[in-house]
Amino acid sequence: MSVYLDYAATTPLRKEVFDCYVEHLQTLGNPSSVHSSGQLVRRALEEARESLAKSVDCNRSEVIFTSGGTESDNLAIKGLFWQRVAEDAKRTVIISAATEHHASIDPMEWLEKHDGAEILWLPVDDQGAVDLLFLEQYLSANHSKVALINLMWANNETGVITDIEKVVTLARPYEIPVHSDAIAAFGHIPISFSESGLAAMSISAHKIGGPVGAGALIVSRATKLVSIIHGGGQERGMRSGTMNAPVAKAFALAAELAIAELSEEYSRLEALRNKLVQGVKEITPLARLTAELSPRMPHNAHFSFDGCSGDSLLFLLDQQGVCVSVGSACQAGVNGPSHVLVAMGRTPSQANGCIRMTLGKQSTEADVDAFLHALPKALDGALRAGMTG
């Protein structure tokens, strides 16, 4: 059986969540219908909304169900930009960082190409930290041009955590909305939407033991945005389409379980991660732990290895039954160095020689031991292959 160390890509569907999903799949009715069958499904949907709101710490009306994190990011970024430009045509600047996930980068660049947006990429240091002093100074001089700020809560590749509440504090005097992609963070570290002050926040189910194809955009009651999907006006008019109650129920249960177990799992996974990191350092001096000095997610270990290709390491570890990644699963198979590491100042060869190990609910010490046992052989093969993998 494979050793799975790629929980940041996706997680196993929890049995409780699977059972909940199957149960509600068997209930007939459109939640927008007024008859009793429809209202039975509507009740399940709103129960899910209430439950997820408690897990996120927001008002139930702020939960907008979507098909996943990518849709949520697109709705937030495009919707906020279009709303702001409609209110003030001079507000065309989107502030972000080049270390963002492509689910955010691509819609921002689409707006730049098609709708006159200007993207300000904030400086990022070699530890993956966004330069908040630069942000503060830029806002002081240029706030009237800014449409929104988009920064992820935790980086999906390196695990680096951004001080989102500080970002919101800098933006608040100028009434600039902030959206955060919290997909890599939600369910793994404490998050409160109400305390964050965010205008919008994206989350996804399959990162926390829920089903693929389920996500949510949390939109504050004070925030307006333009919809990117038009139709029946569901979800506060922000996301039209027949609402998927079975998926919503499954997502809400996965979130409830993740939040209930968060403190215990945080400590357990951090200890496992630390064992993995120490083991790698003892095996080879060629390993460079990414962002070692920055606040990081407890289950993430991201390394670069001098003189070899991350793709080669992934392939050779996979041959021994160990599953890792070289970065975002959404970019798997895309040739080229990690855009995250390049933004952090790494050379192309350094950014090509990285692998990411992420732990989860089913991870054990035996999994870490198996990875450490497999690494020397994989590293030997990858070094002989050089940077051609």
- Write the pLDDT tens digit of every residue in 34-60: 999 999 999 999 999 999 999 999 999
128: CB partners within 8 A, 6+ apart: 99, 155, 158, 160, 290, 291, 294, 340, 344
What are the residue numbers of the active site? 330
Asked if the model's pLDDT at residue 353 lies above 60, the reply is yes
| Banded model confidence at residue 334, pLDDT cuts 50, 70, 90 | low
Please tell me the distance from the alpha carbon of residue 176 to that of residue 184, in angstroms, as a whole number.
Answer: 24
CATH architecture assigned to 3-11+262-388: Alpha-Beta Complex (3.90)
CATH 3.90.1150.10 range(s) for the chain read 3-11+262-388
Beta-strand relationship, 300-305 and 146-150 = unpaired
147: CB partners within 8 A, 6+ apart: 80, 81, 84, 85, 91, 92, 93, 94, 117, 176
Q: Give the model's pLDDT for residue 335.
A: 60
Beta-strand relationship, 287-289 and 200-204 = unpaired
Please tell me the distance from the alpha carbon of residue 75 to that of residue 345, in angstroms, as a whole number.
Answer: 30
Q: What is the mean pLDDT of residues 23-43?
A: 95
Asked if the model's pLDDT at residue 331 lies above 60, the reply is no
Asked if the model's pLDDT at residue 211 lies above 50, the reply is yes
Q: What is the mean pLDDT of residues 163-169?
A: 98
Please tell me the distance from the alpha carbon of residue 46 to that of residue 248, in angstroms, as a whole number.
Answer: 9
Q: Give the model's pLDDT for residue 281.
A: 98
Q: What is the mean pLDDT of residues 151-155?
A: 98
Q: Give the model's pLDDT for residue 377.
A: 98
Contact 17, 253 (CB under 8 A): yes
The proportion of the chain whose per-residue pLDDT surpasses 90, expressed as a percent, equals 95
Q: Give the model's pLDDT for residue 161.
A: 98
Q: Which helix (H) or strand (E) holds 110?
A: helix 102-114
| Banded model confidence at residue 386, pLDDT cuts 50, 70, 90 | confident
Contact 73, 202 (CB under 8 A): yes
Asked if the model's pLDDT at residue 223 lies above 50, the reply is yes
Q: Give the model's pLDDT for residue 336.
A: 74
Average pLDDT, the chain: 96
| Banded model confidence at residue 84, pLDDT cuts 50, 70, 90 | very high
Asked if the model's pLDDT at residue 152 lies above 70, the reply is yes
Asked if the model's pLDDT at residue 389 lies above 50, the reply is no
One CATH from 3.30.43.10, 3.40.640.10, 3.30.379.10, 3.20.20.70 for 15-260: 3.40.640.10
CATH 3.40.640.10 range(s) for the chain read 15-260
Q: Give the model's pLDDT for residue 232.
A: 93
Q: What is the mean pLDDT of residues 96-107?
A: 98
The proportion of the chain whose per-residue pLDDT surpasses 70, expressed as a percent, equals 97
More confident residue, 19 or 350: 19
